[in-house]
Structure 1
């Protein structure tokens, strides 16, 4: 199992946002020096966490989809989605048509971190959320 440091997670988050970002740009965005970022990216490539610049976090935590149904009369769905997107661990938030209103793609270290994120969703927006459904990602292709 690959052990990821907090710096590794910052680098992976930056690469998720822009997989073509230079080591220099990543270093500036996460507050590390360029040499450290380059070295960590090489190690992440060699360990298989980064494969062809598709992030595969095998052994590096878990990914989940959180379906969020917004309560009738809640503030604008886009505002809620934009707020949730800024939280640590949240990769992307999609506004969708269907049973749910939003789907958040999250990457967390373990189930405790996932529970903490779910609690934060409910605590910060309990009057706006009717329900959530969480689905764990087993494999990414």
Structure 2
């Protein structure tokens, strides 16, 4: 696949903000013909840059979200901890990172009490040494 250019990145950003934009609207936004935009989107899909189109729920009734910043116990790694985390339905996203934190885990909970209980379950997992909880107050940009 050829490298993404500025137009590809603009199309991706527009679709991340609203995946239901019509090809005509996308074409108008980037100053290209509808057929050229269709070809670019097809190329992005075929190459796996665009993997899927999905629905993200709006602000009405959003659950509480928090990042759990995990540190592994000595001798443990991501491969040891991930199967247990993946089994928890509240776990939405995991990023292995470098620094004082080993793993950033985005979780959802209906209430602060449920979040606290989830945190206790995570810190009790084999291989987890410490958990710092960072509640999400507001999402100001999400292009996932």
Instruction: Name the TM-score, length of structure 2 as normaliser.
Output: 0.54
**Which residue of the partner structure matches residue 94 of structure 1?**
95
Counterpart secondary structure, 2:125 = helix
The alpha carbon displacement at 1:19 in A equals: 6.5
The alpha carbon displacement at 1:89 in A equals: 0.9
Instruction: Name the TM-score, length of structure 1 as normaliser.
Output: 0.55
**Which residue of the partner structure matches residue 55 of structure 1?**
57
CA contact (8 A) 2:123 2:129 kept: no
CA contact (8 A) 1:92 1:105 kept: yes
The alpha carbon displacement at 1:68 in A equals: 0.2
Query: Which consecutive residues of structure 2, in runs of 5 or more, have no partner in the other structure?
Result: 1-50
**Which residue of the partner structure matches residue 130 of structure 2?**
131
What is the CA–CA distance in structure 2 between the aligned matches of 1:82 and 1:20, rounded to whole Å? 27
**Structure whose alpha-carbon radius of gyration is higher:** 2
CA contact (8 A) 1:81 1:102 kept: no
Q: CA RMSD in A?
A: 2.1
**Which residue of the partner structure matches residue 69 of structure 2?**
67
Query: Which consecutive residues of structure 1, in runs of 5 or more, have no partner in the other structure?
Result: 1-17, 22-52
Counterpart secondary structure, 2:119 = helix
The alpha carbon displacement at 1:92 in A equals: 0.9
Q: What aligned pairs does 1:14-93 form with structure 2 within 5 A after superposition?
A: 20=53, 53-74=55-76, 76-93=77-94
Counterpart secondary structure, 1:84 = helix
CA contact (8 A) 1:93 1:104 kept: yes
Runs (4+) off by over 3 Å:
53-59
